[in-house]
Every structure is written in C-alpha cells, then in structure tokens.
Amino acid sequence: MASNKKYWKSEAELNPNDSIVETLRQNEFTEQIPVDEFLGDKESLSASSTNRRDFLKYVGFSTAAASLAACEGPVKKSIPYVIQPESIVPGVANYYATSIADGFDFASILVKTREGRPIKIENNDRAKVNGGANARVNASVLSLYDSTRVQGPSFEGSPMSWDDFDNRVKGGLRAASNSGKQIALLTQSYASPSTAKLIEEFSTVYANVNHVAYDAISEDAALSAYEAAYGERALADYDFSKSELIISFAADFLADWQGGGYDTGYASGRVPKNGKMSRHIHLESNMSLTGANADRRVPMKPSQLRMALAKLYGKLNGSTVGGGDSSVDGVVGQLATEIKKAGSKAVVVCGLNDVDAQTVVLAINKLLQSEAFDAEQPKYVRQGNAAKLNKLVADMNAGRVGALIIDGVNPLYSLPNSAEFNEGLEKVGLTVNCAFNNDETAQAVKYVAAGSHYLESWGDLEMKKGHFSLMQPTIRELFDTRQFQSCLLTWMGSDQTYYEFVKENWTNTILNGSSWGKALQDGTFAMSAPSVNEGEAVVLNTASEEEIDDLNSQNEISLATAIRSLANATSEGMELMLYSKVGMGDGKQAGNPWLQEFPDPISRVSWDNYVTVSKADAMEMGLVNENVANGGLDGSYANLTVAGVVLEKVPVIIQPGQAKGTLGLSFGYGKKAGMKEEMQTGVNAFMLYKDFNNVQSASIAKTDGMHEFACVQLHNTLMGRGDIIKETTLEIFNTKDHSEWNHVPQVSLDHQEVPATSVDLWAEFDRSIGHHFNLSIDLNACTGCGACVIACHAENNVPVVGKQEIRRSRDMHWLRIDRYYSSEETFEGDNERKDNLDGLWGENGSLGGFGEMENPSENPQVAFQPVMCQHCNHAPCETVCPVAATAHSRQGQNHMAYNRCVGTRYCANNCPYKVRRFNWFLYSNNDEFDYHMNNDLGKMVVNPDVNVRSRGVMEKCSMCIQMTQKTILDAKREGRPIKDGEFQTACSAACSSGAIVFGDINDKESKVAELKDDDRMYHLLEHVGTKPNVFYHVKVRNTNEA
C-alpha cells in the first residue's frame, strides 16, 4: 500500500514556493561557489595552454626527477685552513678562562671553543668568587651570535668607517671640552680596575669628564648604606656557608640579589651533615626562588617588612622601637629568639632598596658579629649611583652636557623617566652609544659605536676586594665592532690597545710579581690576603681617631633615624614589589631565545612576564587563571597604575604564597627595539620603577580579555603523592630510622607485602663490569636556579620551539625542573590529608577532597625537582618501540638512535616520567621557527658532537653520552684509569650548588657511589619498578624552632 507520507528535511521544504528549495533540487549549493578566488584570474587561467593532464604529467615528471636526483649524494667540500693556528686541532675543543661583566652578571667562567667558535660556558672552579655561571651566563654564548647585533659604526643610521667615526667623535669631544660643558660617560657597572683607571686618564685628556655608573636594577640603597657605614661605595659580602641561621627580608639571594653568586655557599650549608644543617627563614611579599627554598617562609607586605626589621633591631639591641602596628610582633619575637640562640652564626640580609632598611641590616650583622657577614672585603659588582644619574638627566635638560657617551646601558628602555632623558638627549651636542643591539637608546643617539660582546673583549674585574679576574677574547670580533674601552683609548689619542693597557695595569698594580700568563690561564687572581688587610688597616689608621668617632656617631644618628622611619612605614593601596627573574635579569639578553624559552622556576611560565597576585586578592577583583581545552594556561589582563603611570594589559598570574595586598612584576621584558618580533614579549616594568625603588604603591584593575600563557607545568600540587618528592624534617631525619622517612614502596607479591625493588619482571642485565653511570640529585642542595637547563640546551643542541608550541606542551627541554606546591601548609600535611580521605562524600570525602588538594595553599611549601630521562635499567620505553630505536646499554645509559626512530611516540606514552620529547617540526632551517637555528650566525653555537634532530623523531636526555664517551676515549688514549670526577654531564658540570653529581657507581670510591648508599637516596616512582640510574636525595627541612 502506497503511503502519501511526506518526508522533509527542513521546514522550508514544506513551502512549495520556496526558491531555495527549488535551487537545491537542481544544484548542490544555492550560490555559485567562488572558485575564481582560489583558482585565480579566470582570464589568465583560460589563456594558459597547460591543461590538467599536462599539469599532472609535469608533476609526475618532476617528482620522478627529484627522487632520482635524490639517489645521488651531494658533493660536499672540505676546506682546510691555509695556515692552521697552532692551538687549534679540528675536532678538539679548547677551553679559555674568562669573565663576564655585562653590568648585571659578573662571573668567572670557562669558555669551550670548537674550531675557534665559543659554544659553551662552564664554571671556573678555580675562582673563589662568582665562579658559577647562572642560567643567563650560560645562555650568553648564544647572545654572541645574535643576528640583530649592530654590525658596524654608524652616524644617524648610515654606516661609516671607524676612521671617520673616530675623527668626528674626537672633534665633538674637543668641542665639548673647549666649550666648558660636561662630557658625561653613562655606563654600566664595570667593577674593573683597568676601566676605572682608563676613565681617570680619559678625564685628564678632556676637561669636565663626569662618569656616571648606572645599574638598570639599582642597589643604590645598599651601596649608600655601606658607604655611610664603611666609607666606600660597595656591597657587603656574605658567606652563607658559615651561618646556621639565615634570615632574609625579601633578599632573593639565590637569584640576583646584589649581584648573586651566593648559591654555592648557601647550598653547602643546606645539606645535612652530622645531623646539622642551616636554617633559613624568609620574609617576603612575592614568592621568590629564595623564599621557595626556605625552611620557613612568612608572607609579608613590604611595609611590614620594614617594620619587622626595625623591631627586630630593637629586640636584639634591647631597646624598644615604637611606632607601627603590632601585626609583625609575633614573628619578630620568634626571629629574635632564634637569632639570639644562633648568635654569631646568624645572618640577616635584606632585599629592599631602601637606605634605612640596608643601614639597619648592616647594623644588625655588626651587632651579631655575624661570621657570614664580610664588610672587610666588600663586593664591587654594583656601582650605580641614582643621585648622580638624576643630576645628569637634569644637566642634560639644562643644556650643560656637551657630550654623552653611553655604554652597556639602555636608559631609554630601563629608566622610568625615559621621556625626560630623551628630551635631554636632544640638547646634548655629541651623543655616542656603544651599542650591542639597535635598541631604544641606540636609535635615539647620533653616533652608534658598534660594541663587542664580552667573548670578543679584553678586560679585568675586581668583583670582591682583592679578588681579580681577567676577561680575554675567545673569538675575533664577528663584525666590525669595538669594545668601549678601545673606543675610549682611541678617542683619547692613545695608540695603546686595551689589552696592553690591562696588562700594564696588572703588572704595575695587581700582579705584584706573579705571572700574567698564569693569571690569564686561570682567569682569576687573588691578591694574597695579608697585603689586603694591611692596606685596609693602613687606610683606617691614617684616619684620625676623632674622625672614626665622628663617623661612628654619625652612623648612630643615622641609624636611629633609619629605625624611626622604618618603624613608621605605612602603605597605601596595593604594594607592588618589582623583581628580576632568574631567566631574564635586567633584560639585557631579552633577545636570547634560550632565555625566553626558559620557564621561570616559580611560575613555570616562559616567554612572558606578568603581575603576580595572591589568590584572595584575585578572587576579590575577579582575576582568574584557567586551563583551557588544549592544556594551555589563560589569565586575565589587568591595568597596573603607579603614581599616574599606567601599564596596560598586564597578564595576571595567581601566585600561591603571594602576600595578600601585594603584587609582583618582573623586570626585563617589554623591550621592543632591535629585536626579532618573536622576542618582543611581556610588559616593561621599568616604567613603574620610580626613584629606583623596588617597592611601589600601585593599584590594579581588571580589563577585558584573556592572556595566553606558555606555561609548561599544568599541575601545581602533588596531591599527597609522597613518593615523587620525599620530604622530611631535620628532627625526624636525625632521630628516626630511614625506613620511616624514606620508605621503600611496597607491592603485593603472592599476597605478601614486599619492597617494590625486590620484584622484577625482567632478568637483570649485568652492569657490574666497566662503567655504570648514575646521576645523583640532592633535593636539599638544588635551589631550582635553572643553570642546568640552559647548559643542557647548549650542550645538546636542544631546539627552541617558541611560545605557541610551548603552550601546546611541546617544549623540548631535556631537563626540566618541576616545581610543586603543597596544598596544605606542608607536604606532610598533604600526605596526611590524602591518607585520611574516606568515602566519597562528606568532609573527608575523596570527591571534594581531591578537588581541594589540586589547589595550592595560601603559603605553600615549595619543592623543586630536576627531572630528566631516568635512564631506567628496566625501561618501559624500550619494550614498546617497534623499531628498537631506543635500547639500554651496559653503561647504564638508555640510548636513543634518532636515525632509527620512526616517530610512533609509543615510548613517550609509556614513559612514567614524561621526559621524552618529540620533534613535531623541523626546528632548524625553518622560517616558522625563526630562532637561532634558522640563521648561519645562530647555528655557530651548535655543538658539533651532537646531532641536530630532524622532524618526526623522538629525543631525550642521553646522559651526555658524548661527554662520557670523550672522557673514556681520552683515558684510553693516555692509557690510564679514569679518576672520580672526570665523568660529567652538562647539568652536573653546570650545577654550582653541588646538587647534581654524576659518576661511575662501579667505581666504589666515587662520590656518586657513596651518594647512592646514602640513607636519603630514593628513586623516582620506585614502585613502577623501572630501576632508574638517576636517583634523588630526600629533602630535609630544618623546621626546628628555637
């Protein structure tokens, strides 16, 4: 029976007169498809004689031709030296000792060069001061090969020869000198005795020379306070290894506080020895790297910090300090008790750029007679003088400056009053900038003298009184550049080179008969201690007794005023604390892709800076952080206002541990000029840096839109999984058996609980013969500084992938430093909470409970854990590889044969540690990834001993097999056994805190074998049974209250 039921697809179909329905009956689409748009011009298309068949023929032919041609290898050329330099053997690395002094980073380093190219920075073990390279110093070798460098001198943008340039500048200087106007040198801090002497000589050649040192991130207050107390503009030095109690008032000394370099001393006291370790109490508003490492961290507003400091002095001194409120009294009382107990073993440091605070800190340490406190041999790594700079800007605007020579600083970017500076600049007759990049200042001045990189320069340093370092070039200038000191010599009319100048100066004043060659080889030279002390004593004695009394009484008066003003510190609105990130510093290397991609140790965000707010404040203002579907982190935008200056659209990160009512913002970002577009990230915090004060009163308001972050860590807490980071307290560590605090996970075998390490799926492979490499990571010594991450980058040709790819979790870092927050007050609290969860619902229900545990606490404990390939003896990745591209070796390394890999990524999925990295794209020679591996200059940093991986292959930490193989080969060639300490990986060599130790555990005498037998040793995810060759040491916190 036929049905007259009518089926219809849309309502329109019911209407028989609908034109659309009618059209659709005839055609697939109602409208003509605009094929012309993608087929191009119709006329030219029809005019073409190539039809579709021809086209396909051509395609076929060219494909066949291309594949045939591919069968033949390309002709490669080998071009030897015409005259081979004696010291260079192709394929053998040379090492040179030199120093970095870029105004922010000062360190003695070793530079590894291959065929004359510097390719890696390493620590200089012979240096007693700042011998460790931080992340930025490690990355500085890449800045040498920056394709945006200024490549030759120019005048108003047009290139010029040095001869012309010099003549014009000399003419300008003479004119300025004759006119009686000031000749100003605005420079970075050099801490260089020879440069100081040179500038002195320069001022004898020209009249009215005024040298103004300027630090982008100022330590002016600390310098002034020290000057007032000790009569010299310098910074007191601290040796944290000598102290048992470290109290820090927002001093981020593991990062860049007063020039940094304190991590070695700090870490040495943090590893429990004979049941003792130092105790570190940190009071701060932002969550800093140092705060994260503290045993006890007290979030406080900067204004409270001042009050607390004043009151602490009062307590220690026995006087009463009035004023302020009582909010800090409790903490101060506890601090005072602990300090009194520790006596001279205690030290107090302060990171507020406030003369009063710094004066009081100096007074406290003096009062305590702190052993860690060294005012005798101060540090010279910061010399910036805010008052002189302000005067200079005023002079410029008043037309009193005839010539201005700028070196190593970028005031137009880093001065809060850069507009004023710019106006002044126009009134100066001769403006010269020894510029490295064509940055904001270089674009504003008339003469750009192309400056050299420190790896192309001569120089010397006195980082700490009596401790000298030399800087020597490791490569000839890549471009037509000249270092500032050579420019000065030329403009003075001297025909000496700066090398001769330095050598002469050293021979006459520093070496005192020691060998110049030896000093140059070591890179460092310490003046014998007695002579320094004598000199000091002589200087002090020449000042009459009265003068000293005078100075002392003056100091006392100023101290009293300082304490009064501190105690009465008040705050309005939000308190903004400006800080520097360990990855970016003052932004001098903002064009360095390694540093841009380096995830901040605390926030784990790369390619950005942001304002950090506390969770409570964020809730109040409606600021949010959320993870979107692809895993990327999004954050609200906010406008930040400081004294009328508005920073618009600053992305917001909700930072656990941020004191309520405070904000944090890092320097170094927001630079625009002279950089690739990819590197122009973040906002410029210097705009808010009024009076060089790192604490500002700010207001914050939410604005529209969400910012896309590139954050490499999605999950912030451990959710009570105590076996990833094992932690205990010093008390338990000292009193209980290690099975209590370093519990080996149990598994069920035949219904019996047995240690997970005793169960094996596989037969054991014999590794007892030959070398068996192990890597030890001490969570107590690791400060999370990230030098190892960059060292690994440099050693292993790890590609930079860019912000978007990082956001998609496609970061390529072989070594990452995981950062975990506790969701309770402590990690131990997390474990308890998890263990006590019971049932699904209710207060202890796991449904709500686990959700809450995902959120970090207001003031969490923080733990860092470097994770690289664990080189499992029973590696899960090996069993799933269909092509056997990854295999274990007798030496304990898990090998990865890139050329064998077909890119199934099974291994990465089966890796419990998530350390395998997949090359989603070709990251070299690819315009889409325009970082250093896309240009010939940047590629010069590539390590020739390590493959540059191609698209579609998996890669991972190789435990620096190229380094271990080299060590073995050297020993074989010399026919000798290998000594302990010879085996190194890039990360272990870069670790200046001694947290990462590498070696051969078959050598029973080795340090790593000893560490493996230590009670604190544990493997990551031991219950999985992977038997890794990387092991960790339980983190011990000194929570003993006095």
Partner 1 sequence: MKQVLNRVQFSKVFGLSLLLLFQLVSVTIHAQEEAAAEETAAPAGDVAAGKQLFNQNCAACHALNRKMTGPALANVEQRLYEDEGLGKEWLYAWIKNSAGMIASGDAYANKIYNEYNQAAMTAFPTLSNADIDNILAYTAAPPPAPPTAGPDVAGGTPVSGSGSGISNEIVLGALALVFGLLVVMLFLVNNTLRKIAEANGVEIVKADAKKRTPIWKAFVQNQFLVFCSVVVLLLGSAYFAYAWMSQIGVDQGYAPIQPIHYSHKIHAGDNKIECKYCHSSARVSKHSGIPSLNVCMNCHKSIYEYTGNPEGPSAEDLANGYTNEFYTKEIKKLYKAVGWDEENQKYTGESQPVEWVRIHNLPDFAYFNHSQHVSVGKIECQTCHGPVEEMEIMYQYSPLTMGWCINCHRETEVQVADNAYYEKIHTELSKKYGVEKLTAAQMGGLECGKCHY
Look up tokens 């916190």; give the residue. Answer: 1037
Instruction: Considering the complex, state which of residue 23 and residue 965 has its C-beta at the smaller distance from partner 1.
Output: 965
Beta strands at 524-526 and 886-888: parallel, antiparallel or unpaired: unpaired
Shortest separation between residue 282's beta carbon and partner 1, angstroms: 42
Which of 967-978 are b and which e, b meaning 16 or more Cβ less than 10 Å from the residue's Cβ? bbeeeeeeeeeb
- Tell me the C-alpha to C-alpha distance, in Å, between residue 497 and each of 449, 504, 1027: 17, 11, 59
Instruction: Considering the complex, state which of residue 26 and residue 768 has its C-beta at the smaller distance from partner 1.
Output: 768
**Among 840, 779, 689, CA closest to 994:** 779
Shortest separation between residue 832's beta carbon and partner 1, angstroms: 44
Beta carbons within 8 Å of 37's beta carbon, 6+ residues apart: none
- Tell me the C-alpha to C-alpha distance, in Å, between residue 990 and each of 3, 782, 900, 987: 84, 12, 31, 5
Instruction: Considering the complex, state which of residue 773 and residue 1018 has its C-beta at the smaller distance from partner 1.
Output: 773
- Tell me the C-alpha to C-alpha distance, in Å, between residue 519 and each of 95, 98, 212, 466, 515: 15, 10, 30, 14, 6
Instruction: Considering the complex, state which of residue 148 and residue 889 has its C-beta at the smaller distance from partner 1.
Output: 889
Shortest separation between residue 68's beta carbon and partner 1, angstroms: 11
Shortest separation between residue 1006's beta carbon and partner 1, angstroms: 14
Instruction: Considering the complex, state which of residue 945 and residue 1014 has its C-beta at the smaller distance from partner 1.
Output: 945
Shortest separation between residue 20's beta carbon and partner 1, angstroms: 57
Shortest separation between residue 866's beta carbon and partner 1, angstroms: 21
Instruction: Considering the complex, state which of residue 592 and residue 985 has its C-beta at the smaller distance from partner 1.
Output: 985
Look up tokens 């748009």; give the residue. Answer: 37
Shortest separation between residue 1002's beta carbon and partner 1, angstroms: 9
Look up tokens 């008043």; give the residue. Answer: 398
Instruction: Considering the complex, state which of residue 695 and residue 885 has its C-beta at the smaller distance from partner 1.
Output: 885
* CA quadruple 432, 436, 437, 439: dihedral, nearest 10: -40
DSSP-based three-state secondary structure for 886: strand
Shortest separation between residue 800's beta carbon and partner 1, angstroms: 20
Instruction: Considering the complex, state which of residue 25 and residue 1004 has its C-beta at the smaller distance from partner 1.
Output: 1004
Q: How far is CA 784 from the centre of its chain?
A: 10
Beta carbons of 822 and 717 less than 8 angstroms apart: yes
Shortest separation between residue 945's beta carbon and partner 1, angstroms: 7
**Cα distance between residue 34 and residue 812, in whole Å:** 42
Shortest separation between residue 876's beta carbon and partner 1, angstroms: 18
Chain residues binding partner 1 by CB under 8 A are 71, 73, 75-84, 89-92, 766, 768-770, 885, 887, 889-891, 893, 895-900, 945-948, 958, 961-962, 965, 968-969, 971-978
Look up tokens 């594949």; give the residue. Answer: 67
Beta carbons of 814 and 605 less than 8 angstroms apart: no
Instruction: Considering the complex, state which of residue 538 and residue 763 has its C-beta at the smaller distance from partner 1.
Output: 763
**Cα distance between residue 185 and residue 201, in whole Å:** 13
**Cα distance between residue 912 and residue 1028, in whole Å:** 11
Beta carbons within 8 Å of 113's beta carbon, 6+ residues apart: 93, 94, 95, 96, 119, 474, 475
**Cα distance between residue 966 and residue 987, in whole Å:** 16
Instruction: Considering the complex, state which of residue 58 and residue 81 has its C-beta at the smaller distance from partner 1.
Output: 81
Q: How far is CA 668 from the centre of its chain?
A: 11
**Cα distance between residue 1030 and residue 1008, in whole Å:** 11
Beta strands at 605-606 and 574-579: parallel, antiparallel or unpaired: unpaired
Instruction: Considering the complex, state which of residue 227 and residue 1003 has its C-beta at the smaller distance from partner 1.
Output: 1003
- Tell me the C-alpha to C-alpha distance, in Å, between residue 784 and each of 602, 827, 993: 9, 18, 10
Shortest separation between residue 124's beta carbon and partner 1, angstroms: 24
Shortest separation between residue 902's beta carbon and partner 1, angstroms: 14
Helix H segments across 874-1006? 876-880, 906-910, 961-974, 986-990
Instruction: Considering the complex, state which of residue 143 and residue 891 has its C-beta at the smaller distance from partner 1.
Output: 891
Shortest separation between residue 111's beta carbon and partner 1, angstroms: 19
Instruction: Considering the complex, state which of residue 63 and residue 515 has its C-beta at the smaller distance from partner 1.
Output: 63
